[in-house]
Amino acid sequence: MFGRLGAPEIILILVVIILLFGAKKLPDMARSLGKSARILKSEAKAMKEDKSSAPADPPASGEQSAAQRTIQAAPGDVTSSRPVTEPTDTTKR
């Protein structure tokens, strides 16, 4: 019943979407969706880099320094970037 979508069904779905959201809002929605995808991709890449460059033995609690890292909304976007302080591990071993 719902196994295959042909060209008429896809066209009908697109017409309904355009009627619901309006033609003026669709480019803005696509732009914000793309920006969100870029942010997610850059954060995932940063997490992988942080994980791979993490030292095997963490330094002693007296040797830790507050390293700052800049978070950007999208690669190359400097207008919305802001420096943040990395959280430190406060648990005692």
Q: Where are the domains of the chain?
A: 26-52
Amino acid at 18: I
Residue ranges of the chain with per-residue pLDDT less than 50:
62-65
- The pLDDT score that the predictor gives to residue 26 is 81
81 with 70: CB under 8 angstroms?
yes
State both tokens at 36.
Answer: 């969100």
- The pLDDT score that the predictor gives to residue 41 is 94
74 with 38: CB under 8 angstroms?
yes
- The pLDDT score that the predictor gives to residue 35 is 94
- The pLDDT score that the predictor gives to residue 37 is 93
- The pLDDT score that the predictor gives to residue 54 is 58
User: Residue 76 — left, alpha, or beta (φ > 0 → left; ψ -120 to 50 → alpha)?
Assistant: left
